Structure 1
Amino acid sequence: MTNIERHQHILEQIEGHGKVHVLDLCKLLNVSSVTIRKDLKTLEEKGLLYRTHGGATAINPYTMDRTVFEKEKLFAEEKSLIARTAASMVDENDSIIIASGTTVQAMAREIVPIGALTVVTAALNVSLQLIKHQNVEILQLGGLLRKSSTSVAGLYAESILSDFYCSKLFMGVDGIDVEYGLTTTNAQEAHLNRKMMNVAQKTIVLADSSKFGKRGFGRICPAEEVDVVITDPGIPEKSAMELEKMGIQVIIVGK
Structure 2
Amino acid sequence: MNSNPRQLQLVEVVRARGSVSVEALADQLGVTLQTVRRDVQRLADEGLVVRFHGGVRLPGSTTQNLGHQQRVSLHAAGKAAIARAVASQVPNDCSLLINIGTTTEAIARELLGHKGLRVITNNLNVAAILSPNPECEVIVAGGVVRARDLGIIGEPAIDFIRQFKVDIGLIGISGIEADGSLRDFDYREVKVAQTIIECSREVWLAADHSKFNRPAMVQLATLAQVDRLFTDQAPPEPFPQLLQDANVRSMVAPP
TM-score interval for Structure 1 and Structure 2 normalised by the shorter chain? 0.7 to 0.9
| Partners of 2:118 and 2:137 within 8 A in 1 | yes
Displacement of 1:235 = 2.8
Post-superposition Cα deviations, 1:191-247, rounded to whole Å, max 9, x if no partner, equal 110011000001101110000001212210122111111001253153233212321
Structure 1 counterpart of 2:107: 107
Map residues 152-163 of structure 1 onto 2, 5 A cutoff.
152-163=152-163
Displacement of 1:112 = 3.9
Structure 1 runs of 4+ aligned residues shifted over 2 Å read: 15-18, 43-52, 55-64, 112-115
Quick check: 1:84 aligned with 2:84?
Answer: yes
Change (3 A) 1:157 1:119: same
Displacement of 1:149 = 2.4
> Percent identity, aligned pairs only?
25
Displacement of 1:139 = 0.7
Q: Distance in 2 between matches of 1:110 and 1:248?
A: 23
| Partners of 2:178 and 2:238 within 8 A in 1 | no
Matched positions, count: 215
Q: Quick check: which has more Rg, 1 or 2?
A: 1
Structure 2 counterpart of 1:134: 134
Q: Distance in 1 between matches of 2:78 and 2:22?
A: 26
Write the letter of the residue equivalent to 2:207. A
Q: Distance in 2 between matches of 1:107 and 1:16?
A: 31
Displacement of 1:89 = 2.0
Structure 1 counterpart of 2:177: 177
Displacement of 1:17 = 8.3
| Partners of 1:176 and 1:211 within 8 A in 2 | yes
SS of corresponding position for 1:66: coil
Aligned-residue CA RMSD in angstroms?
2.6
Q: Distance in 2 between matches of 1:249 and 1:134?
A: 32
Change (3 A) 1:46 1:111: closer
Write the letter of the residue equivalent to 1:226. V
| Partners of 2:180 and 2:242 within 8 A in 1 | no
Change (3 A) 1:50 1:115: closer
